[in-house]
Structure 1
Amino acid sequence: MLQEIRVKNFALIDEIHLEFDPGFNVLTGETGAGKSIIIDALGLALGGRFSTEMIRAGAEGALVEAVFAMEQRPDFELFLDGLGIPVEADGSLIIQREAGASGRNRCRVNGQLVTVLSLAKLGEFLIDIHGQHEHQSLLFPEKQLELLDQYCGAPCLELRAEYQRVYQVWRELVEEERQLRQNEAELARRVDLLQFQSNEIAGAKLVLGEDEDLLKERDILSSAEKLYQAATESYQALYDNASGQAVVELLGSAERALEHAAAIDPRLEPILQSLREAAFGVEEVSRELRGYQEQIQFEPDRLTEIESRLDEMTRLKRKYGPTIAAILQFAADCDQELAKIANREERSRKLDGELAEVRNRLGGLAERLSAERRAGAVRMEQAIMAQLAELNMEKTQFKIGLTQTETADGIPWAGKTVEAGAGGADRIEFLVAPNPGEGLKPMAKIASGGELSRIMLALKAILAELDRIPTMVFDEIDVGIGGRTAQAVAEKMLLIGGSRQVISVTHLPQIASMARQHFYIEKQVQGERTTVTVRALNLNERVEELARMLGGAQVTDTTRRHAREMLLLAERLRLNKNGVSPDS
Structure 2
Amino acid sequence: MLEELEVRDLGPIHHALLKPATGMTAITGETGAGKSMLLNAIRLLSGVPARGDLVSPGSKEAWVQGIFTQEEGAPVLGIIDQAGLPAEDDGQVFISRSIPVGGRSRAAVNGRSAPLSLLEGISSDLVTVHGQTDQMRMANPGRQRDFLDAYAQDEHELAEFRLAWSSYQSSRKRLDSLRNQEAGLAAQADYLRESIDRIDQVDPHPGEDEDLHQQRDRIEHAAQISQGLRMALGALDAAQVDPDGDGPSVSGLLEQAISALEGIGIGGVFQESARRLRSMNTDLSDLVFTLSSEMDDEVQEGDLDKINARIHDLGELTRRWGPTIDDVLAWRDKSRLDLEDMDASPEKLQELQDQCSHDRDAALKAARALSRTRATAGHTLGDRVSEELESLAMAGAGLEVKVVQQDDDALDQHGLDDISFLFTPYPGSPQLPMGKSASGGELSRLMLAMELVAAEARTAGMKPGAGNGQASDGGGDVLPNQNQAMRESMTFIFDEVDAGVGGRAAVELGRRLARLAVTSQVIVVTHLPQVASWADAQFVVSKHDGQSGGVETVVDEVAGETRQREIARMLSGSESTTSLEHARELLVSSRL
Question: Please, what TM-score do these two structures have when normalized by structure 2?
Answer: 0.56
Residues 178, 536 of structure 1: alpha-carbon distance in 2 compared, 3 angstrom cutoff: same
Percent identity of the aligned residues? 15
Residues 323, 108 of structure 1: alpha-carbon distance in 2 compared, 3 angstrom cutoff: farther
Residues 290, 340 of structure 1: alpha-carbon distance in 2 compared, 3 angstrom cutoff: same
- 1 CA distance for matches of 2:556 and 2:328? 75
Q: Which amino acid aligns with 1:539?
A: V
> What residue number does 1:452 align with?
443
1:372 deviation in Å?
Answer: 3.0
1:2 deviation in Å?
Answer: 5.1
1:436 deviation in Å?
Answer: 1.9
Native 8 Å contact 2:491 2:522 kept in 1: yes
Q: Which amino acid aligns with 2:190?
A: F
> What residue number does 2:53 align with?
none
Alignment of structure 1 residues 34-433 onto 2, 5 Å: 35-38=39-42, 40-41=44-45, 68=69, 70=71, 92-95=90-93, 127-130=126-129, 133-153=133-153, 156-167=154-165, 193-205=187-199, 213=207, 220=214, 299-313=307-321, 332-333=337-338, 335-341=340-346, 351=354, 355=357, 359=361, 365-405=366-406, 410=408, 420-433=411-424
> What residue number does 1:530 align with?
none
Residues 221, 437 of structure 1: alpha-carbon distance in 2 compared, 3 angstrom cutoff: same
- 2 CA distance for matches of 1:400 and 1:243? 114
1:323 deviation in Å?
Answer: 8.7
Native 8 Å contact 1:139 1:444 kept in 2: yes
Which consecutive unaligned segments of at least 5 residues does structure 1 have?
A: 50-61, 100-104, 110-115, 316-321, 412-418, 526-532, 552-557, 580-584
- 2 CA distance for matches of 1:70 and 1:211? 71
Q: Which has the larger radius of gyration?
A: 2
1:396 deviation in Å?
Answer: 0.9
2:91 aligns to what SS in structure 1? Answer: strand
Native 8 Å contact 1:404 1:426 kept in 2: yes
Alignment of structure 1 residues 404-553 onto 2, 5 Å: 404-405=405-406, 410=408, 420-443=411-434, 446-467=437-458, 470-474=488-492, 477-478=495-496, 481=499, 484=502, 492-502=512-522, 506=525, 514=535, 516=537, 518=539, 537-539=556-558
Residues 232, 36 of structure 1: alpha-carbon distance in 2 compared, 3 angstrom cutoff: farther
Native 8 Å contact 1:194 1:338 kept in 2: no
- 1 CA distance for matches of 2:574 and 2:259? 132
Kindly report the root-mean-square deviation, in angstroms, between the aligned alpha carbons of the 2 structures.
7.1
Question: Please, what TM-score do these two structures have when normalized by structure 1?
Answer: 0.57
Native 8 Å contact 1:201 1:328 kept in 2: no
- 2 CA distance for matches of 1:501 and 1:451? 21
Native 8 Å contact 2:21 2:537 kept in 1: yes
Q: Which amino acid aligns with 1:470?
A: E
1:302 aligns to what SS in structure 2? Answer: helix
- 2 CA distance for matches of 1:401 and 1:275? 113
Residues 325, 256 of structure 1: alpha-carbon distance in 2 compared, 3 angstrom cutoff: closer
- 2 CA distance for matches of 1:463 and 1:487? 21
Which consecutive unaligned segments of at least 5 residues does structure 2 have?
A: 50-62, 98-106, 239-249, 459-485, 547-551
Residues 79, 451 of structure 1: alpha-carbon distance in 2 compared, 3 angstrom cutoff: same
Q: Mean Cα displacement is larger for which, 301-310 or 191-200?
A: 191-200
1:355 deviation in Å?
Answer: 3.9
- 2 CA distance for matches of 1:128 and 1:388? 23
Q: Deviations over 1:342-401 (max 9, x none)?
A: 786x669x83x9848964x66655554444334323332232123323433233122223
Native 8 Å contact 1:197 1:331 kept in 2: no
Residues 66, 343 of structure 1: alpha-carbon distance in 2 compared, 3 angstrom cutoff: closer
Number of residue pairs aligned between Structure 1 and Structure 2:
499
- 2 CA distance for matches of 1:141 and 1:278? 102
- 1 CA distance for matches of 2:553 and 2:329? 70
- 1 CA distance for matches of 2:422 and 2:162? 26
